[in-house]
Amino acid sequence: MSLNFLSPDDPAALSVAQANALLASGQLRSTDLLQAVLDRIQAVDGVIHSYLRHDREAALAAADAASERAQQGRRIGPLDGIPFAVKDNIYTKGVATTAGSRVPQRHDPALHATLVARLQAAGAILVGKLNTWEYGTGTGAVHFDLENPPACNPWDPRHFTGGSSSGSGAAVAAGTACFAIGTDTGGSVRLPAAACGVVGLKPTFGRISRHGVMPNCWSFDGPGPLALTVEDACLVYEAIAGHDAADPASLACGVQPLLPTLNDGVAGLRVGVVRRLDPADSVEPAIDEALNQTCDILRDGGAQIRDIQLPLAPAEFRAIALPINRSESFSIHERDYLEHRSLMGRALREKLEIGMYIRAADYLAALRQRRELVARMDALFDDVDVLLLPMTDRVAPALTDEQAVINFTARSAGSPFSLTGHPAVSVPAGFDRNGLPVAVQLATGFLQEARLMRAARVVERHFTPQPRRAQVVSQPTSPVHSPV
Amino acid sequence: MSTSEFELASLESAVRIIWQQCGQTPPEGDELSRAASNLRHALAAGRDIPRVADKTIQPMTGRRHDIESQAASGAGLE
């Protein structure tokens, strides 16, 4: 196996924490950091398609301002001067938002997501909008009928990125953004993080404001950071988490900082291991091995490890999630479906068509069942502090293997925590023999992000003591699916 | 589960009626066939949801007061 890492001499290879240290000491200017990121976009985005659009001039102006602040000793904080990008379902004033769809947008172009405003207030530099499946919908298998080409995996562009925050995973892995913000409705932050070998955090439901984020399913949606390292994800989380009166689902309680305890280790932590979501499932050997190694690492760190089962089988989780997700999506997109469905890709059309016919009684039955499920999952977290489980049952498949692409998404372990709202993180756990990233997932009780990231940090320290971005080596490509 | 011609025709009729009664022009041709198939999927999806027998349990919607109550009580927070 040979891995093509981006040279550590390239500023785009730096983690947020590393860049922050250099910016703070005056060894790096944010204009130079941004230029390195723009150069990466120029060099590799024709291959990986992480962006749908970016605003070079606005980013350069923001970098100039950040450089000036640094020169005057007035840096705002650790994200000041750091270039980032957001999934194209997050509204940004001045940069168009399309959610990867041909459907004409109805929103006010001045709408600016709270989370973007918070990042900009922290000095971070918005570079642009990242690729996504249409309105965050599908399994990735039929989104080749969209206007934009699918994002490709920086570790091997013939392979899938996972999604739906497909461009976010690709951008962070390739260094076309120092960090990214995705959205997660059933695993859409964690799956591309797993496929692209970066950290993807889905915080507790309601912890990060959804104001200015295009909805997909109100009951499950939540934004989250994708970052090169656990520390970077924490830095971004701390900048954007917190109450926002503009989001009716926003939690009013205070935010626990993550960084002060990040390196405190896992001694005494009770870890429940879910080796298979469904005992009948098979998991690729590289993922099984990563799971076993993670158990050893955590045990060596003083954690108590025991096998455990989730309260429901994956099919039961999916059965409850489906009517909620489909019905709410149809409610969101009803008018566009009636007026513009011919412009929609097949994945979105099919989802909405099912949503249109879900009976109200079934939708409500699912929401009632969800309340019971949340209580059962919560009870599980009385017995264990952290759950460890595979994120997916396979590494990122080839884009040409349609069934494997569908299975990567459909058989993943993303949905249970989206359904209940518990925080979960996908953490890189090395590479398989073909150089494709392997990941594990950790989850914990409500609002226990500090504990979650502490465990993630221990896992990261073992598997990726020096996290690196991908160089992106263009591979001879086979044609992907023809337009549907 | 295979769909018989009779069942498909019935589903297509149901789709037409639903659209008409909603004040919309029903789909036609291939789109109608797809809609009929999706109607069948949607109804079948309802069968897979376990029912809650306890009539006091309300649907979980909107703001998550269950999470906030945990924060208020400091339950398990480090």
pLDDT digits (tens, 9 = 90+) for B7-36: 999 999 999 999 999 899 999 999 999 999
B17 belongs to a structural domain: yes
- Asked if the Cβ–Cβ distance from B67 to A206 is below 8 Å, we say yes
Q: Which residues, in sequence order, are bridge partners of residue A182?
A: A224
- Nearest by Cα to A198 from A228, A233, A153, A218: A228
Q: What is the mean pLDDT of residues A269-275?
A: 97
Per-residue pLDDT at A481 exceeds 50 = no
Q: Which chain A residues are Cβ-neighbours of B34 within 8 angstroms?
A: 350, 353
Nearest C-alpha in B relative to A366:
B49
Q: What is the mean pLDDT of residues A42-61?
A: 97
A134 belongs to a structural domain: yes
A255 belongs to a structural domain: yes
A333 belongs to a structural domain: no
Distance from CA of B28 to the nearest CA of A (A): 13
User: Is residue A25 flagged as an active site residue?
Assistant: no
- Determine the 3-state secondary structure of A48 from DSSP: helix
Q: CB contact, 8 Å: A34 with chain B?
A: no
Nearest C-alpha in B relative to A322:
B45
Count of domains for chain B? 1
Interface mutation target, options B24, B33, B48, B49, chain A, most CBs of A under 10 Å: B49
- Asked if the Cβ–Cβ distance from A367 to B60 is below 8 Å, we say yes
User: Is residue A415 flagged as an active site residue?
Assistant: no
Per-residue pLDDT at A484 exceeds 80 = no
Q: Can you tell me the distance from the alpha carbon of A56 to that of A474, in angstroms, rounded to the nearest whole number?
A: 24
φ and ψ at residue A426, rounded to 5 degrees: -100, 125
Interface of A with B in 207-236 (CB under 8 A): 219
- Closest partner residue to B78 (CB to CB) among A355, A382, A448 is A448
Q: CB contact, 8 Å: A319 with chain B?
A: yes
Q: What's the pLDDT score for residue A222?
A: 97
B7 belongs to a structural domain: yes
- Asked if the Cβ–Cβ distance from A350 to B34 is below 8 Å, we say yes
User: Is residue A164 flagged as an active site residue?
Assistant: yes
A2 belongs to a structural domain: no
**Domain region containing A119:** 11-313+367-463
Q: Can you tell me the distance from the alpha carbon of A98 to that of A135, in angstroms, rounded to the nearest whole number?
A: 8
- Asked if the Cβ–Cβ distance from A357 to B18 is below 8 Å, we say yes
B56 belongs to a structural domain: no
At residue A1 the predicted structure's pLDDT band, cuts being 50, 70 and 90, is low
B52 belongs to a structural domain: no
Q: What's the pLDDT score for residue A464?
A: 94
Q: What's the pLDDT score for residue A338?
A: 94
Residue A309's CB is within 10 A of a number of other CB atoms, namely 13
pLDDT tens-digit map of A211-267? 999 999 999 999 999 999 999 999 999 999 999 999 999 999 999 999 999 999 999
Q: What is the mean pLDDT of residues A51-75?
A: 97
Q: What's the pLDDT score for residue B77?
A: 60
- Asked if the Cβ–Cβ distance from B63 to A371 is below 8 Å, we say no
Q: Can you tell me the distance from the alpha carbon of A126 to that of A478, in angstroms, rounded to the nearest whole number?
A: 34
Domain with A383 in it: what CATH number?
A: 3.90.1300.10
- Asked if the Cβ–Cβ distance from A362 to B49 is below 8 Å, we say yes
Q: In what order do the strands lie in the sheet with A222-227?
A: A51-54, A125-130, A83-87, A179-184, A222-227, A199-202, A424-431, A437-444, A386-390, A270-273, A304-307
- Asked if the Cβ–Cβ distance from B62 to A205 is below 8 Å, we say no
Q: Which chain A residues are Cβ-neighbours of B77 within 8 angstroms?
A: 256, 447-448
Q: Structure tokens of A96?
A: 């168009």
A156 belongs to a structural domain: yes
A360 belongs to a structural domain: no
Q: What's the pLDDT score for residue A219?
A: 96
B38 belongs to a structural domain: yes
Supply the pTM of this predicted model: 0.95
Q: Which chain A residues are Cβ-neighbours of B59 within 8 angstroms?
A: 364, 367-368, 370-371
Per-residue pLDDT at B1 exceeds 70 = no
pLDDT tens-digit map of A367-394? 999 999 999 999 999 999 999 999 999 9
Count of domains for chain A? 1
Label residues B66-76 b or e (16+ Cβ within 10 Å = b).
Answer: ebbebbeeeeb
Q: Are A250 and A209 spatial neighbours (Cβ–Cβ below 8 Å)? A: yes
pLDDT tens-digit map of A106-142? 888 899 999 999 999 999 999 999 999 999 998 887 6
Interface mutation target, options B12, B55, B67, chain A, most CBs of A under 10 Å: B67
Tokens 């518990």 map to which residue? A422
At residue A478 the predicted structure's pLDDT band, cuts being 50, 70 and 90, is very low
A57 belongs to a structural domain: yes
Q: What's the pLDDT score for residue A143?
A: 64
Angle between helices A346-357 and B29-47 in degrees, nearest 10: 60
Per-residue pLDDT at A447 exceeds 90 = yes
Percent of chain A predicted with pLDDT > 90: 90
